[in-house]
Every structure is written in structure tokens, then in C-alpha cells.
């Protein structure tokens, strides 16, 4: 979420494990049998059975596509797949740099399967998140019509924007600052590939557990920063210093964690994995229906699998950090001293390996 493009490169570094995909639920509604097959194709052809970079790419495009919406003026049709349908327009916007990577997979996939681009984005995101430890089970509404127009530029906030600008844009789409923080749980699996152009930092993760949907990113963004990641080009537009070697911090996240309008919601997510996941699911559902009428869609949530449980039920202080590095900003609740701390010295966090997709239709 926010401008942090991903490009199709295989990077040395962290690679996601490849566990066996558990049996998926069968459709009870006969109308959802088709979507159970679509789900299986997503798992096998797009995600390759793992929670890795392609899942976050779907989460990212889901926000960028849906937020092209306004309660007060014509800023696009919301969650309608316009970013794929009108890619020649929307992918030229600076905030959408790098989204062509996942579009190159999704467009031929959707065309081959026979679904709308809006459904490919939102249903695909729900399927992908079902593979991620700690993630909530997201709704699977389908039946979105094709987009009829592109969203205009400047609908997607960027990390260098002022908080006033970001909050105003989100309010125009119907979201409060707290709901924005809930959506930013997606950063628990995020990595950067555009803010710092240095090759060594392609895929630098936002937290120390980039393949888990957990609350580490919220805790680690609250830690006092010490430096920019080694191998990078230093202070780039939209970048802030980070507390751990190899970890990347976007400027807007740093500000959200320290602003009185969002600091308490940010800290609450850091302290509760279950609440973070539940709040994300609620706000994602709202986002996925922007520009749509829910009663006109088919609810096939029943075919979305249950994600694996969180590996860590509570955030922890990574090696080399401790409670004393928390930069307290929530005025109504002190940060507790009960979280565990990993012993030892801080070690560099490797970059995330970006996925290729040899089974996607575009590569056949």
C-alpha cells in the first residue's frame, strides 16, 4: 500500500517456505462452484501455493484500484478493476509505478478464467491472504462489472505526502485515520522496490517477519530509528531511517505511529495480533465494496480457506532492540513492559525474494 513498486526480479535473500496447501472448502451454494475452481487456479498458478510477494502484490493493487473513488466527486469507480482495464492510463501515474508486475499476471489470468478484472483483484486478494499465517479470512464477493472509466491521478496517497493530505484523500473515499491504520496491517508483509532504487535494497522488508501477517511492523515502526539500510542511497523521498539492519521504513508509517490522530490505533495493533487481523478484515471488506452495491454481488466467501494460525500471538522485540527504544506517542496508554525480547545482537534482515510466475498465462 502506498507507492512502493514491485518489479519482476528474482532477488537473493529470504524465500518463502513451501508448505503443502491444506484442503480447501467446498462450495455449498452451487453458484460458487465456479469460484472454487477459480480459487484453486489462483493458488496453483499465481501464488504457487505460498504466502509470498505475489500475495502482497495483490493486496497492494486491491488498495490502489479501490481507492480510486470519492464520496463527493468523480474520482473513479472504486473496486472495479480499472487499473487493469485502463492500465495504459493508470499505470502511468507515479504512485502506481511497479504495479505492472502483477497486472502482467492478472490480466491474462482473468481473461483465461473468464472473470472481471475487479473480481480478479478482490477475490484473488482474499484467496492469497488465506495462505498467510495470522491473516484473517477475507470475504469473497464476486460479480463486479467491468470498469467503464479510469480513475484519475492523485487518488493513491504517497509516503512523502503530508498527513493532512493523506487523511483528506482517505476521508474523501470514506475512511477515517483509524481505518487507514487498520488497512496498513498489509505492511506486515510488505517490501520496497521503488523508493530506494539501489539494487541491494530491492525487496527490503518493512519488518523482520515479512511472510507473516503479524503485528511486528507496528511494533518495529515505533522503535527509535538509527540509520538507513546499508547498501542503499540514504535519505530518499518517502523514506525514513529504520531501527534494524536491512529493514526499510516508509516515511508515512513513521509519521502515523507518532501522530496524535493515529498513534493509539497504531499502538493497539502492535499489542494485539487478533485485533489487528479482525480490524483489517472489517476495513478490507468496506474497501472491496467501494463503488459496488453489495446486494447485487454474489457472496462466495464460503470457498475462501481458513488462513494458518499466527506463528507469534504477540509481537516481540527483535534481537538488538528493547522496550527502551519505544517512542511512545499514544497519550492514553503506556506501552507495556511485558513483551518478550529476542536475545543476542541484531543481524541484517535479508531482502525478500520476488516471485516469478512461470505457470501464469502470460508466460505460456
The pLDDT assigned to 2 comes to 55
Instruction: Give the model's confidence band at 354: pLDDT under 50 very low, under 70 low, under 90 confident, else very high.
Output: low
> What does the pLDDT read at residue 53?
87
267-325 residue pLDDT tens:
999 999 999 999 999 999 999 999 999 999 999 999 999 999 999 889 999 999 999 99
What's the average model confidence in pLDDT over 26-51?
A: 96
Residue 12 has pLDDT above 50, yes or no: no
- The answer to the question of whether 18 is labelled as a binding residue is no
Predicted pLDDT at 246: 94
Extract the runs of DSSP E, i.e. beta strands, from the chain: 141-142, 191-192, 204-205, 239-240, 249-250, 298-299
Is 72 within any annotated ligand binding site?
no
Please tell me which residue, 10 or 239, carries the higher pLDDT value. 239
The string of pLDDT tens digits covering residues 124-168 is: 999 999 999 999 999 999 999 999 999 999 999 999 999 999 999
pLDDT value at 357 more than 60:
no
Going from N- to C-terminal start, the domains of the chain cover 30-363
The yes-or-no verdict on residue 83 having pLDDT over 70 is yes
Residue 104 annotated as binding?
A: no
User: Which residues are within 8 A (CB) of 250 and not within 5 positions of it... i.e. 6 or more apart?
Assistant: 2, 4, 159, 187, 192, 195, 206, 238, 239, 240
- The mean pLDDT of the chain is 91
pLDDT average, residue stretch 318-343: 96
Percent of the chain's residues with pLDDT above 90 = 80
Would you state the pLDDT for residue 262? 98
- pLDDT score recorded for residue 4: 43
CB 308 within 8 A of CB 133: yes
Is 207 annotated to bind a ligand? Reply is yes
pLDDT of residue 353: 74
- Ligand-binding site membership of 80 (annotated): yes
Calpha distance 180→182 (Å, rounded): 5
Which H or E element spans position 170?
helix 163-172
The DSSP secondary structure of 60-127, one letter per residue, reads HHHHHHHTS--SSS----SSS-HHHHTHHHHTTSGGGTTTHHHHHHHHHHHHHHT--HHHHHHHHHHH
| Domain at 30-363, CATH from 1.10.420.10, 3.90.79.10, 1.20.58.1610, 3.10.590.10 | 1.10.420.10
Q: Label residue 193 left, alpha or beta by phi (over 0 means left) and psi (-120 to 50 means alpha).
A: alpha
The mean per-residue pLDDT over the stretch 20-44 comes to 93
* For range 54-71, the mean pLDDT: 95
| Adjacent-strand bridge partners of 191 | 205
Lowest mean pLDDT among 126-135, 225-234, 335-344: 225-234
- Say if residue 100 carries a ligand binding annotation: no
According to the annotation, is 262 in a ligand binding site? no
* Closest to 208 in 3D by CA, of 328, 65, 341, 301: 341
Catalytic residue among 64, 72, 182, 323: 64
* Whole-structure pTM value: 0.91
Residue 98's pLDDT is 82
Q: Is 64 a catalytic residue?
A: yes
More confident residue, 18 or 301: 301
Say whether 78 counts as a known binding-site residue: yes
In the structure, what pLDDT confidence band is assigned to residue 1 with cuts at 50, 70 and 90?
A: low
Q: 143 vs 28, 78, 121, 187, CA distance in Å?
A: 18, 14, 12, 28
pLDDT of residue 74: 87
Residue length of the chain: 364
Which residues have CB under 8 Å from 324's CB, separation 6+?
none
Amino acid at each position: 500500500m502506498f507507492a512502493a513498486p514491485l518489479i519482476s526480479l528474482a532477488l537473493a535473500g529470504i524465500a518463502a517456505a513451501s508448505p503443502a496447501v491444506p484442503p480447501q472448502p467446498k462450495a455449498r451454494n452451487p453458484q460458487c462452484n465456479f469460484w472454487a475452481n477459480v480459487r484453486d487456479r489462483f493458488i496453483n498458478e499465481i501464488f504457487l501455493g505460498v504466502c509470498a510477494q505475489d500475495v502482497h502484490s495483490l493486496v497492494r493493487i486491491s488498495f490502489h484500484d479501490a481507492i480510486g473513488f470519492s464520496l463527493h466527486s468523480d474520482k473513479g469507480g472504486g473496486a472495479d478493476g480499472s487499473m487493469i482495464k485502463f492500465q495504459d492510463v493508470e499505470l502511468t501515474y507515479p504512485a502506481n509505478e511497479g504495479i505492472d508486475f502483477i497486472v502482467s499476471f492478472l490480466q491474462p489470468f482473468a481473461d483465461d478464467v473468464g472473470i472481471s478484472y475487479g473480481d480478479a483483484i478482490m477475490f484473488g486478494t482474499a484467496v492469497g491472504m488465506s495462505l498467510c499465517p495470522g491473516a484473517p479470512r477475507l470475504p469473497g464477493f464476486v460479480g463486479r462489472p467491468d470498469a467503464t472509466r479510469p480513475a484519475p491521478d492523485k487518488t493513491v496517497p504517497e509516503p512523502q505526502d503530508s498527513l493532512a493530505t493523506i487523511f483528506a484523500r482517505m476521508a474523501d473515499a470514506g475512511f477515517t485515520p483509524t481505518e487507514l491504520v487498520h488497512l496498513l496491517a498489509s505492511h506486515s508483509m510488505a517490501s520496497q522496490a521503488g523508493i530506494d532504487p539501489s539494487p541491494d535494497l530491492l525487496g527490503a522488508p518493512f519488518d523482520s517477519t515479512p511472510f507473516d501477517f503479524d503485528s511486528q511492523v507496528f511494533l518495529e515502526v515505533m522503535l527509535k530509528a538509527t540509520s538507513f539500510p546499508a547498501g542503499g542511497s540514504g535519505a530518499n523521498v518517502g523514506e525514513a531511517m529504520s531501527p534494524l539492519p536491512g529493514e526499510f521504513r516508509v516515511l508515512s508509517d513513521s509519521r502515523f505511529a507518532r501522530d496524535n490522530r493515529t498513534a493509539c490505533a497504531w499502538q493497539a495493533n502492535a499489542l494485539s495480533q487478533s485485533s489487528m487481523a479482525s480490524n483489517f478484515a472489517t476495513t478490507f471488506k468496506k474497501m472491496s465494496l467501494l463503488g459496488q452495491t453489495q446486494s447485487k454481488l454474489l457472496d462466495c466467501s464460503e470457498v475462501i480457506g481458513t488462513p494458518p494460525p499466527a506463528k507469534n500471538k504477540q509481537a516481540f522485540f527483535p534481537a538488538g532492540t528493547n522496550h527502551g527504544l519505544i517512542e511512545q506517542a499514544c497519550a492514553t496508554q503506556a506501552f507495556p513492559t511485558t513483551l518478550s525480547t529476542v536475545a543476542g545482537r541484531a543481524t541484517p534482515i535479508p531482502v525478500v525474494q520476488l516471485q516469478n510466475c512461470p505457470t501464469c498465462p502470460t508466460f505460456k
